[in-house]
Every structure is written in C-alpha cells, then in structure tokens.
Amino acid sequence: MFGRKDSKTATPDGTTKPRAVPASPARPLPAAATGASAAGSAAGSKGKLAYEARRAAKAGVALEKWMADKTRRVQAEREAVQRARKKAAPDKPSLLRRLLDRAHRPL
C-alpha cells in the first residue's frame, strides 16, 4: 500500500524485469519452541556453564541451586506472560464490533 507502486525494475535497454525479493535469513528456533528447558540450554556449552557458575558464586549459592532457581524464575515469567495474554483477550465484543456484526446480518 505504501511501498513501491510497481514491482519491476527498468533495464538500460528500456524493458522492465521483475525485482528480486531478497530471501529472509534462516534463524534458529528459540529454546522454548524446540522444547529445551532453561537449565538445559544454559548448561549447554562450557562457556554458558562457566558464566552461570560465576553468577552463582557472586550470589553466594551452589550452582545446582542457582540453576534450579533460574529454571523457576523462567517458568514463572512464562506463566505470567500467558496469564497476561489470557487476561488481555476481551470477554465480549466491543460496541462497534457488535453494531457491525448486526449490520451485516440478513434481514
């Protein structure tokens, strides 16, 4: 609607050819979509495990307890997001939606 009016490119000889649409780069799926747990993805590599160990040491807790707490925090955050999405869904159509639906009904 607001983009280019035609999807063709002019060539030097005066003819037109269709524009090439660049392909979107393939991105890996997030850990939540692949089914990996937060603790499993955090301890997946040596670097991540070392990072989590430093964070646990700074907090003064054991690594296992830190990872369990992190898993609980991630799960609580996901549940909060789900609750917010569920709460945001309207229970009843708005006045305008109801009037439009009524206007489109046959007589």
pTM: 0.43
| Average pLDDT of span 55-62 | 94
Percent above pLDDT 90 for the chain:
45
The pLDDT of 55-80, averaged and rounded, is 94
Total domain count, the chain: 1
pLDDT at 81 over 70: yes
Nearest-Å Rg of the Cα atoms of the chain is: 26
Residue 31 lies inside a defined structural domain of this protein = no
Question: Between residues 71 and 91, which one has the greater pLDDT?
Answer: 71
| pLDDT of amino acid 72 | 96
Q: Is residue 44 part of a domain?
A: yes
Choose between 29 and 71: higher pLDDT.
Answer: 71
Cα(32)–Cα(41) distance, integer angstroms: 10
- Tell me the C-alpha distance between 90 and 107, whole Å: 28
On whether residue 84 sits in a domain, the answer given is yes
Q: Residue 8: beta bridge partners?
A: 18
What is the predicted pLDDT for the residue at 38? 45
Domain span at residue 61 reads 37-89
pLDDT 10s digits, 12-57: 776 766 665 555 555 554 554 444 444 455 467 999 999 999 999 9
47 is a domain residue: yes
- Mean pLDDT for the chain overall: 76
Asked if 63 and 56 touch (Cβ cutoff 8 Å), the reply is: yes
